[in-house]
Amino acid sequence: MSQHNTGHEHASGESHGSLKSYVIGFIFSIVLTIIPLVIVMNGLLNKTQTVITIMIMAVLQLIVQLFFFMHIREGEKPRWNVMTLIVGIIIVLTIVGGSIWIMSFNSTVQ
């Protein structure tokens, strides 16, 4: 008969996180979503502090998603995964920054 994997592994040998890591990641995600929601709904901070808090929570949410659900540090060569992620972030920041720069200079010229 065929043999089944009892762990969280694919045929290629890659493993996934345990149920415990998924639950921890889920709880972190919920908390990082509720914190800005409570701040905005109750008006606890001024506008600048609220925007900064939302941005910080969004970055933390990204980190939680990458480590707990996308398994960025796991695999055969995790260093390459991180370097690819950094190059992708640089490309996105260049495109967004360049777009904002072009829009800001385009709006002043009439």
Query: What one-letter code names the amino acid at 28?
Result: F
Query: What one-letter code names the amino acid at 24?
Result: I
| pLDDT value, residue 110 | 56
Which pTM was predicted?
0.63
Token pair listed for 26: 């889920």
pLDDT in tens, 52-92: 999 999 989 988 888 888 877 766 666 777 788 888 889 98
Coil vs helix vs strand at 48: helix
Q: Residue 49: pLDDT above 80? A: yes
Q: Residue 104: pLDDT above 90? A: no
Token pair listed for 73: 């540090």
